[in-house]
């Protein structure tokens, strides 16, 4: 029997607003989580005791989010420590990728982390982004619940522009492309629309979305009842209502401690923030890419004879894989 029961796994594309959601839900008194300390010291579950400092609201937002402070974190180094290959980028992870000998170990370590955060922390809260990994976590925790955070496409992509710490803009035709095999229909679309760095980022996001949707359908109605989708824009405009829905889904009681914690947070609607990093024309191009990608998913696959894109007049020039989005504007 797994010692960790009904963990809650937050998933989504990178830059989808999952960090805000993670840190809000982490304030629930029944939930324990991995922190920046677990990332630095993955083999020392005892450092989870320091996570309780994050729950001291009197310290204020500035102090609680200082770089050295223990706060909710994706902690890929922690997962990689116990599950080698967890962080691979070249393809989605599936249930068969879980090392069978690691299942008991990761459950025991997770239970130890919960104990070190206090007696009330009976449920584990995890966040991972990019490839779905829902099927992977289902192998580790067969009763896990999944919450998929979805955000408007231009907002996600422009946030990558701002972040700049992960290369999502290299051409899929470059050896530096990190994200594995690209469906030929998407490669053709990328090529036809100009093959710009922005479109490379859109391509990566679309591949993540496809993987997330595939797994989501396995665990959400009618196939199951273990997955919920949350729209980021709804979360920031109606945080109390959305978090109540989440608590109902995850079987978490709504109490005064949690309500006080989420009420202490300042929220704002970032719907137009993408305009700081993208022009209107670029924004429309991104929306058109996603519209056409969705239409392609509804069509039968191309035959082998028609898959490869043919050179055309005015085709996209070769792209410098080191060129940043900001430099390309």
In-domain check, residue 79: yes
Report the pLDDT value the prediction gives residue 141, as an integer from 0 to 100: 97
Distance of alpha carbon 228 from alpha carbon 88, whole angstroms: 25
Same domain, 96 and 228: yes
The pTM score is 0.89
Same domain, 113 and 249: yes
Report the pLDDT value the prediction gives residue 300, as an integer from 0 to 100: 66
Same domain, 277 and 249: no
Q: Say if residue 321's pLDDT is above 60.
A: no
| Structure-token pair, residue 17 | 């607003």
Same domain, 109 and 124: yes
Same domain, 70 and 178: no
Quick one: what percent of the chain has pLDDT higher than 70? 90
| Structure-token pair, residue 199 | 């479109």
Q: In the chain, what is the greatest distance between 2 CA atoms, to the nearest angstrom?
A: 67
Same domain, 97 and 246: yes
Report the pLDDT value the prediction gives residue 126, as an integer from 0 to 100: 98
In-domain check, residue 143: yes
Same domain, 123 and 190: no
Q: Say if residue 309's pLDDT is above 50.
A: no
Domains identified in the chain, total number: 2
In this prediction, residues 40-61 reach a mean pLDDT of 95
Q: What angle do CA 33, 45, 11 make, to 5 degrees?
A: 30
Judged by average pLDDT, the poorest of 88-92, 145-149, 197-201, 265-269 is: 265-269
In-domain check, residue 1: no
In-domain check, residue 191: yes
- Read off the pLDDT of residues 77-109 as tens digits, 9 standing for 90 and up: 999 999 999 999 999 999 999 999 999 999 999
In-domain check, residue 237: yes
Same domain, 93 and 177: no
Give residue 54's domain range. Answer: 8-151+220-267
The confidence band for 248, taking pLDDT boundaries of 50, 70 and 90, is very high
In this prediction, residues 141-145 reach a mean pLDDT of 97
Same domain, 189 and 131: no
At 227, is the secondary structure helix, strand, or coil?
A: strand
In-domain check, residue 299: yes
In-domain check, residue 318: yes
Same domain, 80 and 68: yes
Distance of alpha carbon 136 from alpha carbon 253, whole angstroms: 28
35 by Cβ neighbours in 10 Å (0-12 / 13-18 / 19+) ranks as buried
């Amino acid at each position: 029997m797994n010692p960790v029961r009904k963990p809650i796994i937050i998933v989504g594309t990178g830059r989808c607003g999952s960090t805000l959601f993670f840190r809000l839900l982490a304030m629930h008194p029944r939930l324990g989580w991995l922190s920046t300390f677990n990332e630095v010291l993955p083999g020392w579950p005892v450092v989870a005791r320091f996570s309780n400092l994050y729950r001291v609201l009197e310290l204020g937002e500035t102090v609680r989010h200082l770089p050295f402070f223990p706060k909710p974190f994706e902690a890929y180094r922690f997962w990689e420590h116990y599950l080698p290959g967890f962080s691979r980028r070249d393809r989605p992870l599936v249930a068969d990728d879980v090392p069978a000998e690691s299942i008991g170990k990761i459950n025991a370590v997770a239970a130890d982390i919960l104990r070190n955060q206090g007696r009330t922390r009976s449920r584990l809260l995890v966040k991972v982004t990019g490839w779905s990994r829902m099927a992977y976590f289902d192998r580790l925790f067969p009763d896990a619940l999944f919450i998929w955070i979805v955000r408007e496409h231009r907002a996600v992509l422009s946030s990558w522009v701002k972040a700049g710490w992960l290369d999502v803009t290299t051409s899929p035709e470059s050896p530096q492309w990190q994200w594995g095999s690209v469906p030929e229909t998407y490669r053709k679309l990328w090529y036809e629309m100009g093959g710009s760095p922005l479109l490379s980022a859109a391509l990566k996001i679309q591949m993540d979305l496809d993987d997330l949707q595939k797994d989501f359908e396995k665990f959400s109605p009618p196939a199951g009842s273990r997955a919920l989708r949350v729209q980021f824009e709804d979360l920031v405009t109606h945080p109390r209502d959305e978090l109540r829905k989440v608590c109902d889904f995850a079987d978490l009681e709504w109490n005064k401690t949690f309500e006080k914690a989420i009420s202490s947070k300042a929220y704002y609607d970032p719907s137009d923030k993408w305009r700081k990093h993208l022009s209107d024309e670029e924004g429309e191009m991104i929306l058109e890419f996603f519209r056409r990608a969705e239409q392609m998913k509804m069509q039968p696959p191309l035959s082998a004879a028609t898959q490869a894109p043919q050179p055309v007049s005015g085709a996209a020039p070769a792209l410098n894989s080191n060129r940043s989005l900001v430099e390309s504007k």
